[in-house]
Structure 1
């Protein structure tokens, strides 16, 4: 997943400025969009990065830009930043929102090409991958004029076909798309090849669950307990989803994802 991991040293702290958040269990203070976080240093680093959860900012540890921050800073705006050049602030923040969506799509398409069973859609996935990469290299005006929803729809059609191919034989009982499973007791559940696209799994007990080849694209895993769960071959799982959940040393993750530091 080269280029799809955040490189904060090459970014101008965009996620700490462009995005808004409200005082809650996830954030200790209120912050408007376009306003620098109180913890953002002059060098664009976070002053409490290693203590975010302890200081009341667990929401920051969940977010991941898929490398969009450095792309916007270094490529779209050629190294300029919103502090030294205030005139680029507004378009830079707006482009960041678009770029993050495009980079997330690049993540999914790259994974699709690694799925052997999804071979019949590899040609379409490769075409969309090249197209999406080309879009990320466009100028600010071009990116802001892009209909991201339309492009996402084209990509999603391929991702859905890829999922169906990989999960062939799952049967209707394995379709839990968009299901409300908040707080569900799914300890040890057999969710192999289950479609959980867009499912609400907030606070669900998934300890020891078999999520191999389960489609987790868009699934809300905030506060879900994944201790001992098998997600090693889960489809379209992302770092933000993993960061939002809890797990332990026995939780199996796909090779492309990192075990969060806050897991026990």
Structure 2
């Protein structure tokens, strides 16, 4: 299993709600579903958002039907937009900038997600042959996040993501090269509800795979590429995800696990797992 270097520090890419103006509670759309009990239009503050930009039902989100909020992760984009891009001036203080702030936030979130992956890629020893390319992509992405509100809003994130994705795919291939398997590519696979209890998935590419409600109890996911995999309600009890590649907090938050689930150091065990 690949070991992380000390340089894999993504603290700045973790949400700091205390330094954010509740942007995920205002800028984004809620659709009434299993994740949200109500509809909410983009740009409209959630009814639970308080004057200090904190959630009034934060401790009871799941019980109140807002499980979608508990799995969302802005990768630190909220505090970046609030404190850096808009210099600490919130949308209530300056309503004229509100629309621009709400437009910038989703783009910043996408850029910060790419920073999460690139920072991990840079710290993977087996990606050393393309380390210079990864460093260059990381610096370019960081530069994009430091633009003015207008510059961030005009950023072609889709094109930039395509370039980064190609680099991350190459990183994944290098990181998994020592796992010899016949079938290592399950990209985009429909594994909804799949029975994969105890499965040996070491080094398998599961990026973009639909693993919704899949039974992955006790599965070995070491060195598996999980970029973009949909793990909603996937059962990860007793599964081993140490050394898995490109796993995010939001993916883990959306899944089910227990004290026996093994996670990479950069990902925290969700409180609702018990």
C-alpha distance in structure 1 between counterparts of 2:214 and 2:229, whole Å: 12
Alpha-carbon distance in 1 for matches of 2:155, 2:218 = 42
Q: 1:207 aligns with which of 195, 201, 217?
A: 217
Tell me the matched-pair count. 264
Give the one of 242, 257, 261 matched to 1:251.
261
Partner residue, 2:148: 139
Q: Deviations over 1:3-32 (max 9, x none)?
A: 100000100000000001112111111111
CA distance in structure 1 between the partners assigned to 2:89 and 2:180 by the alignment: 50
Contact 1:213 1:235 in 2 (8 A): yes
Give 1:2 deviation, angstroms. Answer: 2.6
Cα offset for 1:114? 1.2
Cα deviation, residue 170, structure 1: 3.8
Aligned twin of 1:238: 248
CA deviations over 1:80-103 (Å, ceiling 9, x no partner): 111111111111011001000000
- 1:45 and 2:83 matched: no
Distance 2:45 2:174 in 1: 45
Give 1:67 deviation, angstroms: 0.2
Residue 180 of structure 1 and its aligned partner are, at CA, apart by 0.2
Q: Which residue of 2 aligns with 1:123?
A: 132
Gaps of 5+ in 1: none
Moved over 2 A (4+): 169-172
Measured in 2, the distance between the counterparts of 1:72 and 1:252 equals: 33
Supply the RMSD in Å over aligned alpha carbons: 0.9
Secondary structure in 1 aligned to 2:273? Answer: coil
CA distance in 1, matches of 2:180, 2:11: 32
Change (3 A) 1:51 1:96: same
Relative contact order, higher structure (CA 8 A, sep 6+): 2
Give the structure-2-normalised TM-score: 0.95
Match of 1:156 in 2: 165
Tell me which residue corresponds to 2:115.
106
Cα pair 1:211 1:234 within 8 Å, conserved: yes
State TM-score, norm by structure 1: 0.98
Indicate if the aligned counterparts of 1:170 and 1:194 stay in contact, CA closer than 8 A. Answer: no
Measure the CA separation in 1 of the matches of 2:203 and 2:88: 44
Which runs of structure 2 are paired with 1:1-264 in the superposition (5 Å)? 1-168=10-177, 169-264=179-274
Provide the rounded CA distance (Å) in 2 between the counterparts of 1:84 and 1:231: 44
Cα shift readout 1:86-135 (whole Å, capped 9, x = no counterpart):
11111101100100000000000000011111111111010111111111
Unpaired runs of 5+ in structure 2? 1-9
Secondary structure of 1:174's partner?
coil
User: Could you tell me how far 1:171 is from its partner in structure 2?
Assistant: 4.2
The residue number in structure 1 matching 2:4 is: none
